[in-house]
Chains A and B, each alone.
Chain A
Amino acid sequence: MSFFPMVLMSAQVLLAVAMLFALVRLMAGPRAHDRVLALDTLYVNAMLLVLAFGIREGTALYFEAALVIGMLGFVSTAALAKFLLRGEVIE
């Protein structure tokens, strides 16, 4: 295997292991805000994994999927933090 696919594949493996770490924290987190933080990290790592996959495939199509993942991750984390703060999302 040549240099470019090999380095990109190892980057993808690193990101997958990072997602696994975030998943372990999501399962084990002692309190609710730990779990929300782990979910946010999981979102960011998934976005980077989709971007790396798009670079390896050589199409700009996966960029839009990564953009949607980033936006939904922000909205969900903000809504969960608001819920933890106030007990309601929309007052």
Chain B
Amino acid sequence: MSETVAALLVFAGALCAFVGSLGLLRLGSFYERVHPPTMGTTLGTALVLAGSIVYFTALESRPVIHEIVIAVLMTVNTPVTYMLLVRAALHRDRA
């Protein structure tokens, strides 16, 4: 049962990352292209990590929650890097 839930969560996360990368490939300008990869970095990572928590908690029959470290890391880091990057793009477009 928990194996099925974990597999479906990981698959949903991979689907989110796939759609985000497809948007990065397809969209027209840089300011449009900044948006889609955040889907992979937020929802995709969260779903894959939730699947990992469910699977290893069932496998080792004790609560395994060390995946939260990666979740906190991505939540803090993604806005910082993308705001830096967009500020650099604005600076380069103005110059």
Q: A residues within 8 Å of B by Cβ?
A: 3-4, 7-8, 10-12, 14-15, 17-19, 21-22, 24-25, 31-34, 36-38, 40-41, 44-45, 47-48, 51-52, 54-55, 58, 60, 63, 66-67, 70-71, 74, 77-78, 81-82, 84-85
Contacting residue for A67 out of B59, B70, B87, B92, CB 8 A: B70
Residues from chain A with a CB closer than 8 A to the CB of B81 are: 40, 74, 77-78, 81
In the complex, A17→B24 CA distance in Å? Answer: 13
In the complex, A33→B17 CA distance in Å? Answer: 20
Min CB distance, A17 to chain B, in Å? 6
Contact of B89 with A67 in the complex, beta carbons under 8 Å: no
Q: Is the interface of A mostly helix, strand, loop or mixed?
A: helix
Contact of B74 with A14 in the complex, beta carbons under 8 Å: no
Residues from chain A with a CB closer than 8 A to the CB of B4 are: 3-4
In the complex, A36→B73 CA distance in Å? Answer: 19
Chain B minimum-CB-distance residue to A10: B11
Residues from chain A with a CB closer than 8 A to the CB of B80 are: 74, 78
